[in-house]
Each structure stands twice: as C-alpha cells, then as structure tokens.
Amino acid sequence: MKPSAFTYHAPKTLAEALDLAATLDNARVLAGGQSLMPMMNYRVVQPEHLIDLGRISELAFVEDTVEGLKVGAMTTQRTIERSGVVQKRCPLLIDALFHVGHQQTRNRGTIGGSICHLDPSAELPVTACALDAVLTAASKTGRREIPFADFPAGYLTSSLQPDEILVQIDFGKWPARAGAAFEEYAVRPADFAIVSVAARVALNEDGIITEARLAAGGIAPVPTRLISIEAMLKDERASAALIESAAAAAAALPAAGDDMNSADYRRELAGHLTQRALSKALQRVRP
C-alpha cells in the first residue's frame, strides 16, 4: 500500500505548474489528494511525475462577482462549506458539501480535485452539472471555458487535455425567488452515495416555476442533467402533484446498475430523491 516511485514537483505559481504540465510525460496533477492518493497507494495510478498544486495560493479563492460566484479550483471543501459568501450566493453548494466525505477529508479535499476526478457518487460534480457551472481550464497556450455539460469524457475521466489544469469554477448568478436542495442515499451517513439528486427551482410572484435545474449522480457513469424533467416543471405552478409526476419521470429514466446496486434500485432511488429534493427546494424559495 505504498505508491510507486515518482518525481514530486511543487510549483509556487500557476505559470510554473502549466510549464510542468506542458513538458512532463505521464504526469498527474495533485490537488487535495483525497482520491488520487488512495489510487496511488493502491497503484491503480502510477504517475512518473506528480505536480502538486497545494502551494499555489492564487488558485484558492471564493469571489462574489456581478456574474455570480466564482471559486478557485484549489479552494478546500471545508473553506467553501464555511463561507458566508457561498451560503448567500450558491447555497446548493453548502447543501451538497454536507454529504461530502468527512471533515478530516474536507479539510484537504478541493472543489477542483473533486470535479476533475468525476466519481459518479461525488456530490460536487452533480452540483456543477445541475447549475451548468462553467469550468476554466488553463494551459501554456491560454485559457478556455468549458460548460460542465461538455466536461465529462467518461467514467472518472474529464475532457481536460494533459497540458491543461482546471483553475476556476463559475457557478453563475443565483436567481431571485429560488430555492435549492441536495439529497442522496448512502448506506451509512457520509459514505459514498448510491444515487444523489441536486435541484434548484425559481418561481415568479404567482408561484409559477420560471426555471428548474435538476441533476442526478449514480444512474450513469457521469453526472446526468435531467433536462426532460426540467422542461416538465418549467412554466407550471408548483404543486405536490407536479413534484410527484417529476419524481415518477425520474424513476423511469434509463439507469445503469452494477453488482452492488441494480439499475432498478437506482431508478427507484432517483425517483424518491427527486421528490425530496424538489419539495425541499420549493420550501426554501426565498423572496
């Protein structure tokens, strides 16, 4: 249970890190290490070079801007969950972080690391999916913005190129009269979720849903935005019957199972969790 040998690099600036990413072969970027280190201890991953972003202070920030909340990729989960700005500008993140790992791992785990790792049971990628967060990737040749919808390339795989590093996550503006909730089911609290659902709804003054955002984790190898259900909800009056029909639609979505949890079970969970997340999100709508 020891990693195979590698050369360790600790750049102090993003520019240095991008230089290393552009020139080194078989290199992995180390963020908080709460997923990559176990994989290296197991030797599932055996990089020749490890580029540790932990000393790059410019990548850890929480910014309240006119375009909405922007979070630096190396901001720890613990910093985000305790941030008053995040509580005000993107409370869904706080709700999601309640389920992430343990305090001992959230102290070091980062938002960027979790989003790039793309574990199907992880809460932060599902949240980024629901809000269609815009991810900024940097390389020596410049920066590009990637909508979350285009970010996953497959199971545990992002579409970042080997010379690119995720630097910022942009969660956009939080709408007026909106409420959000993150619900998941795990066998033990704080354990890996089998299925999770993130929801945000915005209402107009007459109680009509003007926007619904819904995403699920655990029904596919990557987070799934539930666009068809969002469309069912939009322009409708929020009601228990509407939530029930949305939940029934979630329980009828295609799902992939594995040896531990069948597709049928995951579908059923998706239905119940959609019901809970939407109900709670609607209760939380604030004027």
Partner 1 sequence: MSTHDISITVNGKMHKRNVDSRLHLADFLRQELGLTGTHIGCEHGVCGACTVLVDGATARACLMLAVQADGRRIETIEGVAAADGPLHPIQAALSRHHGLQCGYCTPGVVMTLLELQRECGGEPVTEADIRRALSGNLCRCTGYQGMVDAALEILPGAHTKA
Residues lying near partner 1 in the complex (CB under 8 A) are found at 1-8, 10, 33-34, 37-38, 41-42, 50, 52, 54, 78, 101-105, 107-108, 188-190
Instruction: Identify which of 94, 116, 92 has the alpha carbon closest to the alpha carbon of residue 33.
Output: 116
Nearer residue to partner 1 within complex by CB, 46 or 139:
46
Q: CA torsion, points 275, 278, 283, 284, in degrees to nearest 10?
A: 140
Residue 45 CB, nearest approach to partner 1 (Å): 12
Q: Minimum distance from CB of 73 to partner 1 (Å)?
A: 17
Largest pairwise CA distance in the chain: 62
- With respect to partner 1, which residue has the nearer C-beta, 105 or 245? 105
Q: What is the crossing angle of helices 240-250 and 263-283, to 10°?
A: 150
Phi, psi for 88 (deg, rounded to 5)? -85, -40
Rg of the chain over Cα atoms, rounded to whole angstroms, equals: 19
- Least distance (Å) between residue 52 CB and partner 1: 6
Q: Are 224 and 230 in contact (CB under 8 A)?
A: no
Cβ 237 vs Cβ 248: under 8 Å: no
Report yes or no: 12 and 56 within 8 Å, Cβ to Cβ. yes
The Cα 38–Cα 272 span in angstroms is 32
d(CA 128, CA 169): 8
Report how far residue 110's alpha carbon sits from residue 227's, in angstroms, rounded to the nearest whole number.
28
**What span, in angstroms and rounded, lies between the C-alpha atoms of 39 and 248?**
37
Q: Which is nearer to partner 1, 10 or 14 (CB)?
A: 10
Nearer to partner 1, 38 or 147 (CB): 38
- The CB-of-155 to partner 1 minimum distance in angstroms stands at 19
**CB nearer partner 1, residue 142 or residue 189:** 189
Q: Which is nearer to partner 1, 33 or 271 (CB)?
A: 33
Closer of 104 and 262 to partner 1 (Cβ): 104
Q: Name the minimum Å distance from CB 283 to partner 1.
A: 21
Q: How far is the CB of 32 from partner 1 (least distance, A)?
A: 9
**What is the smallest separation between the CB atom of 21 and partner 1, expressed in angstroms?**
17
* Identity of the residue, 100 or 199, whose beta carbon is nearer to partner 1 in the bound complex: 100
> Minimum CB separation from partner 1 for residue 23, in Å?
16
Is the distance from CB of 200 to CB of 230 less than 8 angstroms? no
Contacts of 5 (CB under 8 A, 6+ apart): none
CA distance 272 to 211: 21
